[in-house]
Amino acid sequence: MESEESHAPDAQWARDGFARGGVARETGQMNLDEDLNGDRLREECGVFGVFNHPDAAAITAIGLHALQHRGQEAAGIVTYDGRRFHSERRLGLVGDTFSDARVIERLPGHIAVGHVRYSTTGETLLRNVQPLFAELDAGGFAVGHNGNLTNGLTLRKQLVRDGAITQSTTDTEVILHLVARSKKARFVDRFIDALHFLEGAYS
C-alpha cells in the first residue's frame, strides 16, 4: 500500500493537517459547501486549451467564444512562448476583450489555456478570473478549473493556517498552493501530488 508520504506535498504538513485522501482533521462541524464570500467557481464554467500551434491564443479565443454559454462573467487566456508566460484576464464576454487583435498580439506562444467563468452567487472580481498563474520554484504554472472541489474550503483554511498567502476567493487557487508544496522533482509529479488531495468533480 502506498504510504501517505509518497504522495503528500510535505509529509509533516500532511500528517499534521490532513488525513489520507485530502480531508483535513477538523474539530467540530464544518459545512464543506460553505462558500468563500459567496464566490466559489461553479460547474458551469468552460475551459479550452491548445498545444503546439503558432496561433494558440487566437484559436483559444475562438474556442472560448464557442463556450460562451458556459460562462458570461469573465474570460482569460494564458500562453507560453517557450521562455515566458503571458496572461490576459478580464471581466465581461469573450468578444469584449479577445476580438481585439492587439490583445491577441500580447499573447504570443504555441501553448494556451483559456477559461470562461460562471458563478451562481456572489460578485465577480478580477482577482477570481482564470486561468490563475503563479511562478513556482519549478517554473511558471497556470491552471483553469471547471468543477466543484467539495473539500476546497477545508484545504484552503489549512493552507492559510500554515502560512499560505491567497490572492483570490476561488477554490482553484488551492491547486496552485498544493503544487507549490510538493517535494517531487518533476513538475507533472507535483501536479499528481496535488490531485491526491482534491475531492469533488472537476476538469
Residue 27 a catalytic site member: no
Q: Single out the catalytic residue among 45, 67, 113, 198.
A: 45
Task: Give one DSSP letter per residue of the chain, joined into a string.
Answer: ---GGGT-SSHHHHHHHB-TTS-B--SS---TT--STT----TT-EEEEEES-TTHHHHHHHHHHHTGGG--SEEEEEEE-SS-EEEEEEES-HHHHHT-HHHHHT--SSEEEEEEE--SSS---GGG-SSEEEEETTEEEEE---EEETTHHHHHHHHHHTT-----SSTHHHHHHHHHH---SSHHHHHHHHHTT--EEE-
Q: Which residues are the active-site residues?
A: 45
